[in-house]
Structures are given as structure tokens and as C-alpha cells.
Amino acid sequence: MDIEDRIFELTGHEAIGGKVIDAIVEEYGVDRSVARELYVKVRTERGDPNRVATREAIARLKQISFI
């Protein structure tokens, strides 16, 4: 799994960024500063799985029309 995809996945399970960063350091053996930069990048560009699901749900609700 790509490191950015793993960060995205972990953000859905762990709300605290420090835990996500620790997990990435442990799993991929990267420097903590690199893990933090990637974490910030992923959160900025993609958000987290819960936000994505919320955006998709809102988009579906907007398509509903009531007569």
C-alpha cells in the first residue's frame, strides 16, 4: 500500500495525528518529520475518509427532488 493511502486509511481510524504519524514511522521506517509532512499533505489534499463519505452523502442528497 502506498504511504499516502495508508495515512488516509489511518485517519479514518485514529483521530489524533500523532498516532497516525507514529504508525507511519513504525510501518515504513521514515523519519518523523517526513511522516508529519506527508500527514499534513494528505489531510490538506484529501481530508479523511469520514469527510469524503460526508461529502458524497451530501452530493447524493442534493440529487433528490421532492414534488
Residue 14, pLDDT above cutoff 70: no
- Is 67 within the bounds of a domain? no
Q: Which domain holds residue 38?
A: 3-62
Per the structure, the count of domains in the chain is 1
Query: pLDDT averaged over the chain?
Result: 89
Residue 22 to residues 1, 17, 37, 46, 49, Cα–Cα distance (Å)? 17, 9, 13, 20, 19
Specify which of 2-6, 9-13, 63-67 reaches the highest per-range mean pLDDT: 2-6
d(CA 17, CA 36): 8
- Given CA atoms 49, 44, 10, 28 in this order, what sign does their dihedral have? positive
Is pTM beyond 0.85? Reply is no
Of 30, 8, 10, 29, the residue nearest 20 (C-alpha): 10
